[in-house]
């Protein structure tokens, strides 16, 4: 009987939980058993990993293989455990040395030919691993720049399973990179471009300075959308810590690219009035995908001509809290011209913030 262990990470929203993966290779019926509440995608990894191991020039153990993912009561989902499973099984079978695995985090999906494919959520996963005291990780080479944002961890990028096995044996080095620096914010829509609209401009400045929500009302063509698009430009650039938090949300959503692995400016997310509740607040089975509210974390969520969106945002928008993903955002809502009595009702019962009116006189009270 032989035993080996390594680490991976389970994601819930943008929170990560380190998962210890153990492999036992021993006598018994030849089969591979996966324990620890795996979902369907993780169950399928057994056949995917076997093919990747064989196509990388190694044999899968012809014995009973038992894989335990701990904490056992924590649901596991996704294909990001493939690389860890392949390495820990080969270490338990004494095909490769297992000493280095015990303190290393492995993330990545395996193709049938052994290529290591990128997975979503690498940044929040490694942040969770770092908090747990782990200091070394192997990730797909395609997301190495994103992974390098985690300070205090030695991160390696791998192209194939064969590269990782050779690295574990001490015969090869893997890819490294330097963390991308905070770039100067790009030029975007500027409030200086707006001619006139002094009241609405002042309301935007107050909302940006104090972190308030804002409701813009007025007839069509008075510049409500133009003004709302310039709200994000009034916000200060993100600090390093804030940028990591926003980037973690975008990593889970799969919005990062190799060219821009770090979000450095407050995001601006615009929604149409026909947007569904799921698209607004996020969700889904397995790895929940952040909705527009979460993607606008530390930025601006713009709800265009919306009424139903208020109920999805929750009874008190001022809390800035989300259940599964961050929710520190400013909401810019744009409605058509409303009657004065309805505005009064909105102020009294819906706790509406400061209202900027575009191109029309204030209603009498």
pLDDT tens digit string along 253-276? 888 888 788 888 899 998 877 778
| Structure confidence at residue 338 (pLDDT) | 39
| Structure confidence at residue 119 (pLDDT) | 94
* Between 314 and 107, residue with greater pLDDT: 107
Question: 176: closest CA among 144, 217, 143?
Answer: 144
A 10 A CB-CB count for 28 gives: 12
Q: What percent of the chain has pLDDT over 90?
A: 48
Write the CATH number of the domain with boundaries 2-168: 3.30.230.10
Question: Which of the residue ranges 81-90, 197-206, 309-318, 330-339 has the most confident prediction, judged by mean pLDDT?
Answer: 81-90
| Structure confidence at residue 362 (pLDDT) | 42
Give the Cα separation of 356 and 147 in Å (integer): 42
The yes-or-no verdict on residue 239 having pLDDT over 50 is yes
DSSP-derived secondary structure for 212-255: --EEEE-STTSSHHHHHTTSGGGSPPPPHHHHHHHHHHHHHHT-
A 10 A CB-CB count for 181 gives: 9
| Mean pLDDT computed over 206-216 | 88
Give the Cα separation of 339 and 356 in Å (integer): 14
**Which tokens go with 54?**
């064989």
| Residue 82 falls in which region: left (phi positive, over 0), alpha (psi -120 to 50) or beta | alpha
Q: What is the pLDDT of residues 80-98, one digit of tens each?
A: 999 999 999 999 999 999 9
End-to-end Cα spacing for the chain:
83
SS3 305: coil
A 10 A CB-CB count for 266 gives: 26
**Which tokens go with 159?**
């192209």
SS3 36: coil
SS3 340: helix
Q: What is the pLDDT of residues 106-148, one digit of tens each?
A: 999 999 999 999 999 999 999 999 999 999 999 999 999 999 9
Mean per-residue pLDDT over the chain, rounded: 83
The ranges assigned to domains in the chain are 2-168, 191-357
| Structure confidence at residue 188 (pLDDT) | 77
Q: Are the beta carbons of 109 and 116 closer than 8 angstroms?
A: yes
191-357 belongs to which homologous superfamily? P-loop containing nucleotide triphosphate hydrolases (3.40.50.300)
Q: Are the beta carbons of 324 and 282 closer than 8 angstroms?
A: yes
């Amino acid at each position: 009987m032989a035993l080996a262990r390594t680490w991976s990470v389970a994601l819930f929203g943008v929170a990560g939980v380190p998962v210890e993966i153990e492999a036992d290779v021993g006598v018994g019926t030849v089969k591979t058993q996966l324990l620890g509440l795996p979902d369907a995608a993780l169950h399928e990894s057994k056949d995917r990993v076997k093919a990747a191991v064989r196509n990388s020039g190694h044999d899968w153990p012809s014995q009973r293989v038992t894989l335990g993912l701990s904490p056992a009561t924590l649901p596991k989902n996704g294909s990001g455990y493939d690389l860890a499973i392949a390495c820990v099984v080969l270490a338990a079978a004494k095909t490769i040395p297992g000493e280095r695995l015990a303190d290393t985090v492995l993330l990545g999906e395996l193709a049938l030919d052994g290529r290591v494919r990128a997975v979503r959520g690498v940044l929040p996963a490694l942040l969770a691993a770092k908090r747990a005291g782990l200091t070394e990780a192997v990730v797909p080479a395609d997301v190495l720049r994103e992974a390098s944002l985690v300070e205090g961890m030695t991160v390696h990028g791998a192209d194939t399973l064969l590269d990782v096995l050779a690295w574990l044996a001490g015969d090869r080095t893997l890819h490294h990179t330097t963390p991308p620096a905070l770039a100067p914010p790009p030029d975007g829509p500027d409030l200086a471009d707006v001619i006139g609209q002094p009241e609405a401009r002042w309301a935007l400045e107050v909302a940006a300075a104090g972190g308030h929500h804002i409701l813009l009302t007025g007839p069509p063509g008075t510049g409500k959308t133009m003004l709302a698009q310039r709200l994000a430009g009034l916000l200060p650039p993100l600090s390093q810590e804030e940028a990591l938090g926003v980037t973690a949300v975008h990593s889970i959503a799969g919005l990062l690219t190799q060219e821009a692995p770090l979000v450095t400016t407050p995001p601006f997310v615009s929604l149409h009035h026909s947007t569904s509740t799921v698209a607004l607040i996020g969700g889904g089975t397995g790895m929940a995908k952040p909705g527009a509210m979460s993607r606008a974390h530390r930025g601006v969520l713009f709800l265009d001509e919306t009424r139903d969106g208020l109920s999805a945002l929750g009874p008190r928008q001022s809390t800035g809290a989300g259940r599964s993903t961050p929710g520190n955002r400013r909401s810019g809502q744009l409605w058509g011209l409303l009657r004065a009595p309805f505005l009064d009702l909105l102020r009294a019962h819906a706790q509406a913030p400061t209202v900027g009116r575009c191109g029309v006189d204030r209603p009498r009270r």
